Amino acid sequence: MVELGLNAIKDTVIQVAEAIATVLHVDVTIIDKQKRRIAATGKYRDRVDKYIATDSIFTKVLEEESTLFFTDRQSSLYCAECSAKKDCADLAHLCCPIKVEGETVGLISLIAFSEKQRQVLVANQGNYLNFLFKMASLLASKLKEERAREKLSVQKEQLEAIINSVSEGLLAVNGTGRISFCNKNAADMLDKEMESLVGKDIKKVLPSFNLKLPKNTQTIMIPRRGARVFMLVSSIPIVTEGQSKGAVLTLRSIREVYEMAGQVSFNNNNFSFDQIIGKSEKLKHTVEIARKAALQDSTILIQGESGTGKELFARAIHQESRRKDKPLIAINCGAIPENLLESELFGYEEGAFTGTRPGGKPGKLELAHEGTVFLDEIGDMPLPLQVKLLRFLQDGRIEPLGGTRSKLVNVRVIAATNKNLEKLMEEGKFREDLYYRLSVVPLEIPPLRERREDIDLLIDYFLNRFSQLYESKPFSISPSAREIFYKYDWPGNIRELENSLEYAVNMVKGTYIDVEDLPPRIRKQSTSKKIVPEETELIPLEEMEKRLLQLAWEKYGRYKDATLLIAEQLKISRASVYRKLKKYNIS
């Protein structure tokens, strides 16, 4: 920011010049740092706002930043060098610089245009100089004050711009409970004008908010444009010398909070079908169906054993749907107590039951409006709640606990379970009509034991991820350890495979994982089992060796010591590596 000059206090400068001329009976000129005349009396009055000669006596004062007094124009060296001396009527000068915090911002000069004025200047030189010092100090103080005011004004504008740019609504409340400031977002959230909010009692604006509580966060409901809006209001007290002077309130839309939480916890990886690892025909078929279903809004039922990746499929479906920019909110129907699950899904009104929050609370279905709700472990949902969920799937309306009015909510539902729903229906534990509503597009994710050809891909994927996570050299695994992984049945599916590899990278001394580094239960259960898939193709050893060398080169070829790394992994000499690479023309 450019500092203000004397022109910023021009009215004061003019008044000072007139006052000095009246008191001392000599003429006055005041010039700023840019060599522009700001005020003047006598013959120079008509030269105000014009620039002085660059080689004049005034320029010398500004450059040398010191006082100057001369009474004889003919003998003055300053006047001899001045380009304007022919038109100059000055007989004497008494100049004093004006300084603000060490910076020369201009000068005051007493000027004698007549012999009488010159004699007065000479006779009163000392007194007049002291008087000029005081006047210069007065102007400096005024300019300093104006600069401070300008700085505060700019800072105020910057602060207001910052406050209005934050996504939350902000309210400042004074010690009497009245609003002293609000930002634009707060006014928009409350559907009011900013000017109308300032000065109002906070109790009238947010009736259910308790300002007397210490630093706290409360959920409140306010009516806005004929609808109910839930907000999260946080209060931070302002305390000065142990006395409460008010508080600052932050307002956030509950829906935005949940959307943000949903995006951070469930969408932050932008998981897509391309990230689902596997080449088995069963998995490819499931992915193909899921891709097609993602483009529509039909409900989807994902079935599969624990650890097969049902949640990942739900993420990928949402990410490739037209709702990908809206929230994806998950709720585990088996992890929430039965008496709380209904309020989590549908929300509740204030006073619906003991312990409710002030203003009530919106449910997950309402918070996911225009997005997707993922109902995990749907097979654990109690029968009474199944009826209410079925009604919602039929008409798209929800009614919070304790509420009297329903509201329309537009969400896509993806459900998942590791249980046999058909068996549960036979036992009367799951409603048939809900099952058919949920399974418009059924997806069956195959267990890992039915897609053993994907085990190698998954091993390499997780080992690579762990090497990045631990900032380690690339991990590798011995053929015998791979064989044990291949024999194992994986009742915990991909999740168990991932955990087993994580155990191994924690146990291994270097980066080469062998059988003794694997979890004991896997070693124990795999030793007596030999599995060779019927589709396994037997190939000549030489072709097998060539493929293995090609794979090793693709993995380590980018490293400087590639041949050494390959030799260590294949347990052969480095010379053998060179010979075999040349033999199979691998480079």
Q: Is residue 131 part of a domain?
A: yes
Residue type, 565: L
* Statement: residue 400 has pLDDT above 80: yes
Q: What is the largest CA-CA distance in the chain?
A: 126
Q: How far are the Cα atoms of 392, 394, 400 from residue 406, in angstroms, in the given order?
A: 10, 14, 8
* Statement: residue 378 has pLDDT above 90: yes
Q: How many residues does the chain have?
A: 587
Q: Is residue 153 part of a domain?
A: no
Q: Are 273 and 361 in the same domain? A: yes
Q: Are 370 and 301 in the same domain? A: yes
- The predicted-structure confidence for 285-342, as pLDDT tens digits, reads as follows 999 999 999 999 999 999 999 999 999 999 999 999 999 888 899 899 888 887 788 8
Tokens of 34: 């840019």
Q: Are 210 and 77 in the same domain? A: no
* Statement: residue 167 has pLDDT above 80: no
- In percent, how much of the chain has pLDDT > 70? 88
- The predicted-structure confidence for 41-52, as pLDDT tens digits, reads as follows 988 888 899 988
Tokens of 453: 């050809």
Q: Are 404 and 423 in the same domain? A: yes
pLDDT at residue 268, rounded to an integer: 45
The Cα angle at residue 238 between residues 236 and 243, in degrees rounded to 5: 135
Q: Is residue 160 part of a domain?
A: no
pLDDT at residue 284, rounded to an integer: 93
Contact 413, 368 (CB under 8 A): no
Window from 137-151, 155-169, 199-213, 344-358 with minimum mean pLDDT? 344-358
Q: Is 166 helix (H, G, I), strand (E, B) or coil?
A: coil
* Statement: residue 190 has pLDDT above 90: no
> How far is CA 281 from its chain centroid?
41
Window from 104-108, 258-262, 436-440 with minimum mean pLDDT? 258-262
Q: Are 366 and 469 in the same domain? A: no
**Predicted structure pTM score:** 0.52
* Statement: residue 529 has pLDDT above 70: no
Q: 253, 280, 297 — which closes off a domain?
A: 253
Closest C-alpha among 451, 390, 420, 382 to residue 303: 420
pLDDT at residue 226, rounded to an integer: 55
- The predicted-structure confidence for 266-289, as pLDDT tens digits, reads as follows 444 467 898 899 999 999 999 999
Q: Is residue 154 part of a domain?
A: no
Please state, rounded to an integer, the average pLDDT across all residues of the chain: 84
* Statement: residue 545 has pLDDT above 90: no
Residue type, 364: K
Q: Is residue 259 part of a domain?
A: no
Q: Per-residue pLDDT averaged across 204-213, rounded? A: 77
pLDDT at residue 267, rounded to an integer: 46
**How would residue 115 be classed by pLDDT, with cut points 50, 70 and 90?**
confident
Q: Are 74 and 98 in the same domain? A: yes
Q: Is residue 158 part of a domain?
A: no
Q: Is residue 284 part of a domain?
A: yes
Q: Which residues of 226-256 are buried (b: 16+ CB within 10 A; e: fewer)?
A: eebbbbbbebeeeeeeeeeebbebbbbbbbe
Q: Is 332 helix (H, G, I), strand (E, B) or coil?
A: strand
Question: How many domains in the chain?
Answer: 4
**How would residue 225 be classed by pLDDT, with cut points 50, 70 and 90?**
low
Residue 12 structural domain: 6-148
Q: Are 193 and 282 in the same domain? A: no
Give the domain CATH number at 198: 3.30.450.20
Tokens of 89: 């009527």
Q: 223, 253, 283 — which closes off a domain?
A: 253
Q: Is residue 159 part of a domain?
A: no
* Statement: residue 216 has pLDDT above 80: no
Q: How many CB atoms lie within 10 A of CB 356?
A: 17
* Statement: residue 25 has pLDDT above 90: no
Q: Are 228 and 247 in the same domain? A: yes
- The predicted-structure confidence for 329-376, as pLDDT tens digits, reads as follows 989 988 888 778 888 888 877 666 555 555 567 888 888 889 999 999
Q: Are 220 and 322 in the same domain? A: no
Q: Are 309 and 352 in the same domain? A: yes
pLDDT at residue 265, rounded to an integer: 44
Beta bridge partners of 39: 30
Tokens of 429: 């534990």
> How far is CA 193 from its chain centroid?
28
How many helices (H) does the chain have, and how many strands (E)? 23, 21
Give me the phi and psi of 374, to 5 degrees please. -105, 110
Q: How many CB atoms lie within 10 A of CB 44?
A: 22
pLDDT at residue 256, rounded to an integer: 64
* Statement: residue 165 has pLDDT above 80: no
Q: Are 249 and 354 in the same domain? A: no
Give the domain CATH number at 442: 3.40.50.300
Q: Are 228 and 280 in the same domain? A: no
Q: Per-residue pLDDT averaged across 518-526, rounded? A: 83
Give the domain CATH number at 72: 3.30.450.40
Q: 195, 228, 253 — which closes off a domain?
A: 253
Contact 448, 487 (CB under 8 A): no
